[in-house]
Chain A
Amino acid sequence: MNLGELRFMRRKVILRVVSKFIIPFILLFGLYVQWHGDFGPGGGFQAGVIFASAIILYALIFGVEQTRKAIPAWVTRSGLSVGVLLYAGVGVATLLLGENFLNYNALANDPVNGQHLGILLVELGVGITVCCAMVTIFIAFAGRGHR
């Protein structure tokens, strides 16, 4: 953000105060959609987008540099990979437990618990990767011109 934009944003008190107020709630809602995905509508993809939208809102109001201080490039970069590794890792775990790839039955003593745990972990992987991808794409575009 250049100096002019910064001054402009500093004057928008309402925007700053309100977004500061609602960003935690957006994050919380993202987590709700993530963990409640197997009981109601939702899941990793939606949760990842909602979670990322809170970070993108922060970047819009307080600037890309400020956001990069809170979430450095290495965090989003590793997040992208961690999600994929978590998803595929669950599959490999089921392989090692003697079942087919991604057959969650193997993850716990009884199939219902196994399916539950499996889908939760896989969706968490999806959520992490989607969130980091959204943030990376936004910052890549918004941060152009500054470097």
Chain B
Amino acid sequence: MIEAHLPILQVIIPLLAAPICVFLRHPVATWALTTVVSWICLAISIWLLQQVQAGGEIIYEIGGWAAPWGIEYRVDMLSAWVLVIVTSIGAVVMPYAKLSAEKEIDRDRLYIFYTMMLLCETGLLGITITGDAFNLFVFLEISSLASYVLISLSQDRRGLTAAYRYLIMGTVGATFYIIGVGLMYMMTGSLNIADLAKLIPDVAATRTIQAALAFLTVGLALKLALFPLHFWLPNAYAFAPSVVTVFLAATATKVAVYAFVRIIFTVFGGINILQSLQIQDLLAALAIVAMFAGSAVAIYQTNIKRMLAYSSLAQIGYIILGLSLNSVGGISAGLVHLFNHALMKGGLFMVMGCVVYKIGSAKLDDMAGLGKRMPVTMAAFVLGGLSLIGVPLTVGFVSKWALLQAVLDKGWWPVALLIVISSLLAVVYVWRVVEVAYFKVPSTAAMEKDEAPFSMVLPTFILISAAIYFGLDGTTALDIAGDAAATLVRGLK
């Protein structure tokens, strides 16, 4: 019986747990509930992925109303894949959250923190699982509103301005998205994504639909922080509490990319929109600029959380570049990088969370001598950094290799060269941290070993070793991403 209702349980279990947290209010009790719920969510998403692999698409009608009139949840290879990414990050982050949040968030607000984490996860899972364009908007708002609150919980007052800026930009993005959905509804009379995909080709030539596409693209590009719509991201990530940064960096932009993929390749898949409207070159160009601008600015950052945030912008560039290739190889390279980037950036931000826990700062200058003081944590940073660069035997290599192959298949030689050069920029910013942590002699701080607590180091290492494991065994992730890309491209001709 449970098996038939998995798609809805995936969303309502965290949704129900959130108000219960408000009743519990006790920091440890809310933390325990949140952790258990995040593990249940992970189990459900893995179960769903196996079901989809075995039996194909799963459709769940809410309230028993059939689509396109009712809302349906639809799990295919792509959404099951993204569900697993979000829930596995959630399941690793929650045990880590306890100590880090106690350190960085006021005690009487901890229950709000856990409530919002649950709501944020609900929203992200809902975006991924729903088959309805309007329902997607509702979940987009749930996750965004929760993340504004999460960022503003920071004790650093700059967190409040960063959250406010994110609120303004995020609201503009969501509004643009809903305007686009409204315009599509005007022309087709449908809000169901699968139904829209059937109806759009007939009306695709109208200016209304073209305007809709423009609004949807800009709105979602804001949410996923594609250059030049990224201004909200660096400060939001840098000044949010460390756990929040880990969770958002590893999931929020990824889910926005998922929504983007749904619109471009499912809703507008029937008319192969990237080619017919020539936005392919535009996306590829923006992605390449993002790769370079993000990495170049990252080199000059003195706050390492901010540096990693700029590096995220560059990584989003790689993902979008893959998607813009409009081929199975390109899309699967983009999708596999979603997963790989979630692992390594989640791991690296976790390292920074450990550092902030111990030394109370994320500034590069304060990290002198950390290689001796926190050897285990900094080893995780080195491994994650290598993955970010794309060194063989790490996940970064797997996705860059897939991306290079797809680019070469298209015959875009110069772009392939640019990917390699931009990777070299990553060497520079990772090395800066390694140099300070291992080779610079600290001025005052004690040199004895002072490692972060086990409950924080273990989740960090789970993510980092996953980044190594999936680097050695690249095929598991690549196969799933390839299947997902193949189902998406089936519509393209």
A-side interface residues toward B, CB under 8 Å?
Answer: 77-78, 80-82, 84-85, 88-89, 91-92, 95, 98-105
The reply to whether A105 and B64 contact each other, CB–CB distance below 8 Å, is yes
A85→B61 contact, CB < 8 A: no
The interface centre, meaning the residue of A78, A84, A89, A99 with most chain B CB atoms within 10 A of its CB, is: A84
Among B5, B16, B18, B19, contact of A100 (Cβ-Cβ < 8 Å): B5
CA A85 – CA B5 in complex, angstroms? 19
Q: Chain B's nearest CB lies how many Å from the CB of A98?
A: 7
Interface centre among A77, A85, A98, A105 (most CB of B within 10 A): A85
Q: Could you jot down 7 A-B contacts, CB within 8 Å? A: A80-B19, A81-B20, A88-B12, A88-B15, A91-B12, A95-B5, A101-B60
Instruction: Point out the residue from A77, A84, A92, A104 that lies within 8 Å of B18, measured CB to CB.
Output: A84
Segment 75-98 of B: residues with Cβ below 8 Å from A: none
Q: Enumerate chain B interface residues (CB-CB to A < 8 A).
A: 1, 5, 8, 12, 15-16, 18-20, 22-23, 60-64
- Given A98-B1, A101-B8 in contact, is the A85-B20 Cβ separation under 8 Å? yes
CA distance A81 to B15 in the complex (A): 11
Shortest 7 CB-CB distances between A and B: which pairs?
A81-B19, A103-B64, A102-B63, A101-B8, A81-B22, A84-B19, A100-B64
Query: What residues of chain A lie closer than 8 Å to B8, measured between beta carbons?
Result: 91, 95, 100-101
CA distance A45 to B467 in the complex (A): 47
Chain B residues near A81 (CB, 8 Å)?
A: 19-20, 22-23
Q: Which residues of A contact B64 (CB under 8 A)?
A: 99-100, 103, 105
Main SS of chain B's interface residues? helix
CA distance A103 to B5 in the complex (A): 12
B residues near A89, Cβ cutoff 8 Å: 16
Task: Add 14 more A-B contacts to A85-B19, A88-B12, A102-B63 (CB < 8 A).
Answer: A78-B22, A78-B23, A84-B18, A84-B19, A85-B16, A88-B16, A91-B8, A91-B12, A95-B5, A99-B64, A100-B8, A101-B5, A101-B8, A105-B64
A80-B22 contact, Cβ under 8 Å, with A100-B61, A100-B62 = yes
By a CB distance below 8 angstroms, the chain B residues around A82 are 19
- Give which listed residue, A84, A92, A98, A104, contacts B63 with CB less than 8 A: A104
What is the distance, in angstroms, from A61's C-beta to the closest C-beta of chain B?
30
B62 neighbours in A (Cβ, 8 Å):
100-102
Find the B residue at minimum CB distance from A94.
B63
CA–CA, A82 and B16, complex, Å: 10
Inter-chain contacts of A99 with B (CB < 8 A)? 64
Chain B neighbourhood of A91, CB < 8 A: 8, 12
Give bound CA distance, A85 to B19, whole Å: 7
**Chain A residue with the shortest CB-CB distance to B7:** A101
Interchain nearest-CB distance for A96 vs B (Å): 9
Shortest C-beta distance, B214 to chain A (Å), equals 31
> Which of A78, A88, A101 has most B Cβ within 10 Å?
A101
Question: Which of B18, B19, B63 contacts A103, CB < 8 Å?
Answer: B63
- Residues of chain B contacted by A101 (CB below 8 angstroms): 5, 8, 12, 60, 62-63
- CA–CA, A84 and B21, complex, Å: 12
